Amino acid sequence: MEQNVDVRIRKTLRAMRLLSEKANEIVERCGAEVGVICYAHDAVSPLFHGNPSLKAVVERHNAENPRTSLETIEALDQALANIVLENLSPHELRTLRSSLLSFHEKLANNNNQA
């Protein structure tokens, strides 16, 4: 059984690497901005990939597709529910914390402006 899990993890990591490579290929060929978020399973850390950066792609998407703060918070809650913190490296945890703090500040600023 453990062998099957190891094989599945290797296949998942390979597929996630291929997703990143394909995203980069789209950027190179088309000059597009690309963002990829992939949650595989508990044994593999999520893939967060963006060009020029995931943050830039998400901010552009949000600017072109405005939603209410409540919808944004609900989407964030759903995304966070899928993250298994125990599987994240210390660097990934710091990055996630920084992103969440930045997101919190934006929400606070948007609510103050409304």
Q: Tell me the pLDDT of the chain averaged across its residues.
A: 79
Res 102: pLDDT:
78
| Beta bridge pairs of residue 108 | none
- Give the burial class of 105: count Cβ atoms within 10 A of its Cβ; 0-12 exposed, 13-18 middle, 19 or more buried: exposed
pTM score, two decimals?
0.52
pLDDT band (50, 70, 90) for residue 8 = confident
Contact 73, 50 (CB under 8 A): no
pLDDT band (50, 70, 90) for residue 7 = confident
